[in-house]
Amino acid sequence: MAAKKLYDSFSKTLIDEVQRWGAMKQTGVSLRYMMEFGSTPTRRNLLISAQFLQKELSIRIARRAIELDTLPYGLSQKPAILQVRDWYLDSFRDLRSFPEIKDTNDELEFTQMIKMIKVRHNNVVPTMALGVQQLKKALNPKIDYEDLDDIHQFLDRFYLSRIGIRMLIGQHVALHDPNPPPNCVGYIHTKMSPVEVARTASEDARSICLREYGSAPDITIYGDPNFTFPYVPTHLHLMVFELVKNSLRAVQERFMDSDKIAPPIRIIVADGIEDVSDEGGGIPRSGLPKIFTYLYSTAKNPLDEQSDLLTANVATMAGYGYGLPISRLYARYFGGDLQMISMEGYGNSSQPNLILVHGVHLLLHGP
């Protein structure tokens, strides 16, 4: 059924090209290399970058399109997944139909085209979440989510690849800024203060908690704001935002009907380590193995069959089931990690390298 729809929508020639490019080996690009290459965004360097991206993005997007059409348990046939697959095939067609990049004018036109590809894929995460929700509704409720390991592994590969694709496009586009912010090389901030990013992310998460509950626990950040290292601020913002959002919800719901004042969320930053801890009651032991899967959430899922995908990416407190697993992928993209330790009845915390009695550990690696 999915194959029929595929050939109904796209030519056999295009599908054969997708298969050919999807069999090619992709090239890894490190944070250090992006920082060094982008430090001198000359016309020649931008031309080299565009030529590399035309090939590299074709390989990465083709691989994901192939996987999207061959998923188990009928996931490929879910309407939301078919929509995402078509976005990837449209983007592959745009890349392969673009002429060979020979000069600056070609490079500038190519840059505008990949900007549009990035916009086309803006709603991939909530749309994929909707597809997974459609799968959950169709599955036998007795099936253990941990048994669906092939689905989890696919989603890890898919989202990690998406992070890489958007990083490559965003970095190339940002290098065209004639007046970049101080200490910035494209997306990369060479002197990023994790304390300052944590403060901004925490304020954003707290504003959502205030909107949904009418009140929110305080957030206390410990650390030296002058401590800096090279990293991508938007990546760290997303990770801290998700961790703090989870902590806020847990504490708020635990103390909502209590006479006690809700204790503050604590964020500790030390030499690249972010520790987010709370007293939200912790996660039951039975739930710990599931927290990094895409089929599990302790909150009501805000997506359903009738959800408007144009508004599906509006931030909510919880329920999509992908905040923590995707945050871990962002940490791992540049060699870090995110780990969770929970003390049931007390709370959670986030901090890598140091093992706490309770916690979530977020370890960041620079170049």
| Same fold across 1-184 and 193-361 | no
Q: Which residue has the higher pLDDT, 288 or 205?
A: 205
How much is the mean pLDDT over the chain? 82
Alpha-carbon distance of 349 to 205, in angstroms, equals 16
Could you please state the CATH topology (level 3) that the domain comprising 193-361 is classified under. Heat Shock Protein 90 (3.30.565)
For residue 6, what pLDDT is reported? 58
Is residue 26 within 8 Å of residue 57, measured between CB atoms? no
Burial readout 191-224 (b: 16 or more C-beta within 10 A, e: otherwise): ebbbbbbbbebbeebbebbeebeeebbebebebe
Label residue 167 by pLDDT band (50, 70, 90): very high
Give domain limits for the chain.
Answer: 1-184, 193-361
Q: What is the pLDDT of residue 349?
A: 45
The CATH number of the domain covering residues in 1-184 = 1.20.140.20
* Torsions phi, psi for 265 (to 5 deg): -80, 135
Left if phi > 0, otherwise alpha if psi is -120 to 50, otherwise beta: which for 74? left
Select the highest-mean-pLDDT range: 82-96, 141-155, 251-265: 82-96
Predicted TM-score of the model (pTM): 0.83
- pLDDT tens column, 63-119: 999 999 999 889 999 999 999 999 999 999 999 999 999 999 999 999 999 999 999
Q: What is the pLDDT of residue 247?
A: 85
325: nearest Cα among 260, 242, 254: 242
